[in-house]
Structure 1
Amino acid sequence: MQAEIITIGDEILIGQIVDTNSAWMAKELNKYGIGVSKITSISDEADDIVTTIEAAMKRAPLVLMTGGLGPTNDDITKKTLSDYFGMKLIQDDELYQKIQDRLAKYGISMNPFNQEQALIPDGARIIPNNFGSAPCMWFEKNKRVLVSMPGVPFEMKGIMQNGLISAITEHFETSEIVHKTIMTDGIGESVLAEMLSDWEENLPLNMKLAYLPSPGKVRLRLSITGESKPALEKMVDEEVEKLKKILPDNIFAYDDIAIEERIAELLLEKGKTLGTAESCTGGYIAHLITSHAGSSAYFKGSVVSYSNEIKEKVLGVNSKDLEKFGAVSQEVVEQMALGARKVLNTDYAVATSGIAGPDGGTDEKPVGTVWIALAGDFGVQSEKLELYKVRERNIKVSAFKVLNLLRKELEK
C-alpha cells in the first residue's frame, strides 16, 4: 500500500524551517507496511491546497497532510478542506472546553481566534490530539482517506502514535515491509557499486538495493515487501551474509546508526573510556559523542586546542616540533592524542589537526590536509587525509575517519 504526504506552509518553501515531519512520518508508516510514493510541500493558498489534494487522492488511497491548522488568519487548511469535502464548520463543545481549560492554566481568556480552533467539519472523524488544540481530521471520499494534522512536530507525532496509526491499520489492508541498513566505510559509492554489481544483479526480484552516501561512509539499504515478515527477514539475512563475504573489512554496523553510536556500544561493552583533542574539528567530535544519552559512562572530556599555545601547554606537544613540522603534521597530532590520553586519564584518545578551509592552505599543505591520530595501550597510530575545499565537509569527514580508527581498534 502506498501513501502520499503533503506539508503546508510558506515557511517551508522559503527555507525558514526544514520539513522534518515528512521524513518522520514516512519512517513511521514504513513500520506498518505503508510506503510513501510522493512528498509535496505547498503554500498556504486555498487553490494550491485543493489542486494538490485532488491529485494526491487520485494517486494514493491514503494522504497525510500537516500544517495550516493554527489559530491565526494565515492558517486556512480547515476551512479549505471543509469547503472541498462539502461540510460545514460546527463548534465541538468538548474541544472548546479543552481549549478553554488549557488557556486557563496560563491565565489566558478565550478570544475569537481560540474559539475558531474549536470548529470542526461536521462530517469529519476527529482523531484525538492530546498535545495541542488543533484537531486532527479524517476525511473520506471515493474510498480514499485524507488526514489533516497540525504541523507542530510534537503534536503530529503524538497524534500518529496515540490513535492515528491504529485507525489507519484498522481501515486499510497493508503488506509487510522489511528494511535492512548496512553501514560501510572506506569505499566510495561508485567503486562500491562496481564491487557489488554481480551480487546486486542476483538479488531476489522483489528486493531493492539503495546506495545512500554521506561524508566518509555509504549506507546500503535492502528493502523487500511481502506477506510474511519472518520469510522476508530470512531472505534479507541471507543476502547480508553474502555481502559480508564481499566486504569483510568495510562494514561497521547492521543498523542505520551513526559511527559514534557504534563507538558507544563498543566502549560500554569493553568498559573503556575516551577523550578527544581537537584542532580543525573544533569540538565537533565531542559534540557527536555527547549528543547521545549515557555518554558520561565512557566519555571523559575534550581539549579543543585551536592554538599552538594550548597544544603545547595543555597537551604537552613539543614546541620544537610545532616550529619544525607545523601544527598540521604527523608528529604534532600524535603528541596531541598521547597528551589528551594522559591529561584526561582515558583508555583511548583521538586527535585531529588540519586545514579545514576555505583558506589557510599552502602549496605544501593545501586546504583539506588533515592529520588524525588514535592513542591507546598499544601506543599511537596516525593517518593523513587529503580532503576537500569545503570546510563543513572536511570537519565531518575528519571526525568520521578518526572515530572509525577507534572503531577498528575496539573491534580487534
Structure 2
Amino acid sequence: MNTHTYVEIITIGDEILYGQITDTNSQWMGTELNKIGFKVIRKTSIGDTREEILNILDEAQKRADVILITGGLGPTKDDITKKTIADYFGVDMTFHQEVYDNIAELFRNRNRELTELNRLQAEVPSNGKVLMNEVGTAPGMWFDSGNKTFVSMPGVPREMKFLMTNHVLPQLQKKYETPHIVHKMLRTMGIPESVLAQTIEDWENNLPEFIKLAYLPRFGQVRLRLTAVGEDKTELDYAINEQVELLKPLLGDKLFAEEDVEIEKVIMDKMITKGLKLATAESCTGGLLAHRITKMAGCSAFYNGGIVSYSNDVKHSQLGVLKETLESYGAVSEQTALQMAENVKEKYNSDFGIATTGIAGPDGGTEEKPVGTVWIAISTPTETKAKLLQLTKQREVNITATTNNVLQWLNDHL
C-alpha cells in the first residue's frame, strides 16, 4: 500500500493576501482530507495573476499527488483561474451546456437576468471533467494529468464544501489507496507546554514508531494529539488507547477531557448528569463566562443565569455585596469575590455560584493591587472560597486567563 498520498491546497485571490477575507477553506479542506488518509503537505495563497498561477501549478505537481485549487472562478475579468488552467494544460475552452442550464435555472429561481458574463462561466477547459455545482454558478473542474490530479473549485466556502463533500472526496477515495489515520485528542489546562513536555518526556520517547504526538498550545491550554497511521484500523485504535491509559496518570488533574471539547462542555455534561445548577457573577470578565456557557446548545438544563456587575453600585444593588465590604476592602478583594459567588448562587437558586473580580488593565492598577490582580470565587452546596490570581498587564489575556481559571476550578469541584 502507498503510505501517503500528498495533497497541496492553493487558494487564489488578492483579497486573501490583502487580509480582506480570512482563508477558512484550506483549514476545512485539510481537516476533511486528513480524516480519509490524505496528507496535506502545503497550503499556499497567491494573487490573481496568470504568472503566479502557472508557477504554483508547476511547483505543486512536483510535490504533491493531488492539487486542490479554490478561487478565481467568478464571472468578472479578475477571475482568471479557469483560463489560466487551460493555458497550463495547453487546451482550449469549450462551452458546456449542462453548466449553462444550471446557471440559467439558478438565475430564474432568483428572478435575475442572465448576462453574457454568466454565459462565460459555462466555458471550461476542454480536458476537464465538470463537477456540477448545484449551489452556485461556477462549476468545479477535475483534471487527470498522468498520475496527478488537479481540482479547481469556487472560493465561496458553501460552494467549495458542496463540491468537496459530494464529488471530490468520494472520487479521490476511489482513485487513491490511502492508509488509515486514527487521531486521539487529550485536553489539558493549567500546565505550561514546556512543563507538560518534561512531565511526559519518558512516555513520549517510548511511543511506538507509528504513533506521533503533537503539542497544540492555546492560551492556558495544551491539546495533545496522538496520531497513528497504518493498514489495520482496529490495531491502531487499540494501540492509541493503550498509550492513553499510560499517559493519564502522568497528567493527573491537568487532564480535563479525552476528546477535543472545551472545558465548559465537560462542565455542562457533569452538571446535567448530576442534576446541578450554576449561576455566574462577573466583573472583570465582562460576561465572557456567561458567553462561553450559553454558546452551547442545551445549556439551559444547568445554567440559571448571571450578572455582569461592573460598577460597585451594581455589585451592591444586584448582587448584595455589602457597602461596608466595598468601602473597606474594595471591589477587587477576597471578601467581595466571596459575596459575589455566594449571593449569585442564592439569588438564582443554584447549587454552584462562580465569580470574577479584578483589574484587567491596561490601567487602573495601584502599588497594592497592580494590573493583573484578580480574585475568583466559587460557592458550592457546602462552602464558599476564593483564590487570588496574579496575571499579566494585557487586558485580553487577563480576561481569558481568569475565565479559564474559574472554569478549571469549577470542573475540579465536580
TM interval, short-chain normalised: over 0.9
Counterpart of 2:253 in 1: which secondary structure? coil
2:341 counterpart residue number: 337
Pick from 120, 123, 127: which aligns with 2:127? 123
Checking the alignment, whether the CA contact within 8 Å between 2:102 and 2:134 is kept in structure 1 is: no
Q: Superposed, which structure 2 residues align to 1:37-56 within 5 Å?
A: 37-56=41-60
1:276 counterpart residue number: 280
1:234 aligns with 2:234: no
* Separation in structure 2 between the aligned mates of residue 213 and residue 302 of structure 1, nearest angstrom: 30
2:196 counterpart residue number: 192
Q: Superposed, which structure 2 residues align to 1:163-312 within 5 Å?
A: 163-312=167-316
1:384 aligns with 2:366: no
* Separation in structure 2 between the aligned mates of residue 161 and residue 188 of structure 1, nearest angstrom: 38
- Counterpart AA for 1:184: T
Checking the alignment, whether the CA contact within 8 Å between 2:338 and 2:386 is kept in structure 1 is: yes
1:107 counterpart residue number: 111
* Separation in structure 1 between the aligned mates of residue 119 and residue 350 of structure 2, nearest angstrom: 59
Aligned length: 410
Superposed CA deviations along residues 292-346 of structure 1, whole A, max 9, x for unmatched, are 2222222222211111111110011111111111111111112111122122222
Question: Which structure 1 residue ranges, 5 or more long, are not aligned?
Answer: none
Checking the alignment, whether the CA contact within 8 Å between 2:187 and 2:257 is kept in structure 1 is: yes
- Counterpart AA for 1:306: Y
Structure 1 residue 94: Cα displacement: 1.7
- Counterpart AA for 2:219: P
1:82 aligns with 2:86: yes
Superposed CA deviations along residues 216-253 of structure 1, whole A, max 9, x for unmatched, are 21111111211111111111111111111212221100
Structure 1 residue 200: Cα displacement: 0.9
TM-score scaled to structure 1, two decimals? 0.96
Structure 1 residue 402: Cα displacement: 0.9
1:144 counterpart residue number: 148
Structure 1 residue 291: Cα displacement: 1.6
Superposed CA deviations along residues 362-408 of structure 1, whole A, max 9, x for unmatched, are 22222211111222212222221111122112111111111111111
* Separation in structure 1 between the aligned mates of residue 15 and residue 366 of structure 2, nearest angstrom: 42
Structure 1 residue 87: Cα displacement: 2.5
* Separation in structure 2 between the aligned mates of residue 164 and residue 297 of structure 1, nearest angstrom: 40
Superposed CA deviations along residues 125-175 of structure 1, whole A, max 9, x for unmatched, are 122322211111111213111111111112211222222211110011111
Counterpart of 2:365 in 1: which secondary structure? coil
2:408 counterpart residue number: 404
1:58 counterpart residue number: 62
Structure 1 residue 23: Cα displacement: 1.3
* Separation in structure 1 between the aligned mates of residue 69 and residue 185 of structure 2, nearest angstrom: 28
1:95 counterpart residue number: 99
Counterpart of 1:374 in 2: which secondary structure? strand
Structure 1 residue 88: Cα displacement: 2.1
Counterpart of 2:225 in 1: which secondary structure? strand
Q: Which moved more, 1:379-388 or 1:214-223?
A: 379-388
Q: Which moved more, 1:85-94 or 1:398-407?
A: 85-94
* Separation in structure 1 between the aligned mates of residue 24 and residue 325 of structure 2, nearest angstrom: 48
* Separation in structure 2 between the aligned mates of residue 139 and residue 216 of structure 1, nearest angstrom: 45
TM-score scaled to structure 2, two decimals? 0.96
* Separation in structure 1 between the aligned mates of residue 258 and residue 199 of structure 2, nearest angstrom: 19
- Counterpart AA for 1:397: A
* Separation in structure 2 between the aligned mates of residue 162 and residue 271 of structure 1, nearest angstrom: 42
Checking the alignment, whether the CA contact within 8 Å between 2:133 and 2:139 is kept in structure 1 is: yes
* Separation in structure 1 between the aligned mates of residue 311 and residue 302 of structure 2, nearest angstrom: 27
* Separation in structure 2 between the aligned mates of residue 20 and residue 6 of structure 1, nearest angstrom: 12
